Structure 1
Amino acid sequence: MNQYADAYAELPATDDRDPVELVPAAVDEVLEMAESWLGWDGRPVCRDGNAWTPHKALRRVGDHLLDHLAEIECRLAGQPTIPDRWHGRMVTTDADFARFTEVDLDEATSRLGRLAACYRARLTGLDPDLLDRRPAAGGWTLREVVHHVANVTYYARVVGDLTGAG
């Protein structure tokens, strides 16, 4: 068993918020925080045993959104899912240390906005029973997956507001 299995053994907390809006709201929060990263001084933020930079945070947000969107699509299509075995949060690449510019923010806004729209489109109209159906082999319900994905804001919060305002 790998070191990440325990993290996925615990069921994500859910609540009565509309799952259709959870990921788009999380993306909005990430992008709002990312606006403060334009003045990043090039020094990583060290938290939770990892070095974090603006590019790494946005890479992890995008990876996380894409990985779980693929999981949702496979499950809804009745196909086996392919687990992420890379765990890129533990790696800080040379590219993660690049300056964070207006172009990077614009690219992130476009890419993450499109991913959020995919979640909204995919989840709209799904039967609540389907959202709450536990897979026969065990694991998380689709509602639990969506609530987990909405915690993608963690990656932005770990870098924090770099304007010095908070």
Structure 2
Amino acid sequence: MELENVIDAAVEEVLGLAQGWLGWDGRPVVFDGNAWTPHKSLRRVTDHLVDHLAEIMCRLNGLDPLPDHWHGRTVTTHADFARFTETDLEEATSRLTRLALMYRAGLRGLDPAVLDARPDPDTWTLREVVEHVAGVVYYARAMS
């Protein structure tokens, strides 16, 4: 699979899993030491996509990415316990498919040398960042 399409595939899997969350009974699922709800899973997917998209865009444009200050999966908010409805799924579909499109647009046509450049020994290449981001399905699988 071409690199520019791996995020599309991840988002497709996330949204496929999310369809099964309609009618969620309100009880969190405990997975990997954390409480998970449909809204938390989708919030983490979205946050992860946004965070790394910003990193990629900054690096491509010679800007320093912002440091990561997300609370991550260890925090479950009151809003995470809201009912999960068809409208929530539709909103998530719109949001996540647009984020996937932004990745595709940003990665299209990039020279492999740009994708595989390592700014310093402790920094992932852009290819490694995208492959890492495709792991967002973890957050959706936590609810399965």
TM-score by length of 1: 0.85
- 2:107 corresponds, among 117, 120, 123, to 123
Provide Cα deviations, 1:78-99, integer angstroms capped at 9, x if missing partner: 1111121223311000000000
1:52-63 superposed matches below 5 A? 52-63=36-47
Task: State the 4+ residue runs in structure 1 displaced beyond 3 angstroms.
Answer: none
2:113 is matched by which residue type in structure 1?
D
Cα deviation, residue 129, structure 1: 0.8
Distance 2:111 2:119 in 1: 15
2:58 is the counterpart of 1:74: yes
1:8-27 superposed matches below 5 A? 17-27=1-11
Distance 2:29 2:46 in 1: 19
Partner of 2:116: 132
1:62 is matched by which residue type in structure 2?
T
Count of residues paired in the alignment: 144
Unpaired segments ≥5 residues, structure 1:
1-16, 161-166
Distance 1:87 1:129 in 2: 33
TM-score by length of 2: 0.97
1:154-165 superposed matches below 5 A? 154-160=138-144
Query: Alpha carbon RMSD of aligned pairs, Å?
Result: 0.9
> 1:79 aligns to what SS in structure 2?
coil
Distance 1:97 1:35 in 2: 17
2:126 is the counterpart of 1:142: yes
2:22 is matched by which residue type in structure 1?
L
Partner of 2:67: 83
1:74 is matched by which residue type in structure 2?
C
Provide Cα deviations, 1:88-118, integer angstroms capped at 9, x if missing partner: 3110000000000000000000000100000
> 1:152 aligns to what SS in structure 2?
helix
2:59 is the counterpart of 1:36: no
Distance 2:70 2:93 in 1: 25
Partner of 1:107: 91
1:33 is matched by which residue type in structure 2?
L
2:136 is matched by which residue type in structure 1?
V
Identity %: 67
- 1:51 corresponds, among 10, 15, 35, to 35
